[in-house]
Amino acid sequence: MGQPKALMKLNGKTFLQQIIDVLSATSISNITVVLGSSAQQICASLGDFCGKIIINEHWQQGQLSSVIAGIDSLGENFVDAIMLCPVDHPLISENVIQELLCAFETTKKKIILPKYCGRRGHPIIFSRDIFSEIRNAPTEIGARSVLHKFPNEICEVQTNEECVLANIDTREDYEKYIANTHNAEF
């Protein structure tokens, strides 16, 4: 991308700030940000963020190492689940977050994820009951392996919001989004 994804901008906000703002507007009680590369630069951009910031010293090992660092920072006895919000999916909405939280409470499934037009998206809720499975997931597959291992514990929440699929992972993805919406800044 030429710069940290967390600092890319949409609607005048960084990807990370966009996600934090949406989560803060919901019933999520604790927001933990896990940083790796460019952690100091990203921290400086957060201003008055009052959640927890974790530095993953092993970020080069991939996204799973950041998920594990986040889980390890929580104290499992004090959380029912985590909601994994990758920074390259910054278009999540309050509505989707609330729908996922509601499904977690009502279905008692261990994995809750959004689905749009037959495709699974983000964010994903993982119950604390499967944190050990995430910790032991193969690095090359990551948390996705837990989805394959527990298909009967998945609740797919159908949504009409395409944002759950919006993965802005490359400069090309970013430029395509800008061209379609005209609301991003470099």
Q: Is the pLDDT of residue 164 over 50?
A: yes
Q: What is the pLDDT of residues 79-107, one digit of tens each?
A: 899 999 999 999 999 999 999 999 999 99
**27 vs 158, more confident:** 158
pLDDT of 1? 61
| 116-121 long-range Cβ contacts below 8 angstroms, 24+ apart | 116/158, 116/159, 116/160, 116/161, 116/162, 116/164, 116/165, 117/162, 119/165, 120/156, 121/89, 121/163, 121/164, 121/165
pLDDT of 186? 39
pLDDT of 76? 62
Sheet holding 13-14, edge to edge: 13-14, 9-10, 184-185
| 86, two tokens | 């990758």
Give every CB contact of residue 35 below 8 A, 6+ residues apart in sequence: 6, 42, 43, 53, 54, 55, 56, 59
Percent of the chain residues topping a pLDDT of 90: 65
d(CA 79, CA 31) in angstroms, rounded, equals 12
Q: Which band of pLDDT confidence, cut at 50, 70 and 90, is reported for residue 184?
A: very low
Q: Is the pLDDT of residue 172 over 90?
A: no
Q: Read off the pLDDT of each residue in 110-120 and give the average, rounded to a whole number.
A: 96
CATH code for position 81: 3.90.550.10
Region of residue 114 (phi > 0: left; psi between -120 and 50: alpha; otherwise: beta): beta
Q: What is the pLDDT of residues 16-73, one digit of tens each?
A: 999 999 999 998 888 999 999 898 999 999 988 888 999 999 988 888 999 999 999 9
CB atoms under 10 Å from CB of 21, counted, come to 11
Range of the domain at 82: 5-185
d(CA 186, CA 184) in angstroms, rounded, equals 7
Tell me how long the chain is.
186
Total of domains in the chain? 1
State the average pLDDT for the chain: 90
**169 vs 181, more confident:** 169
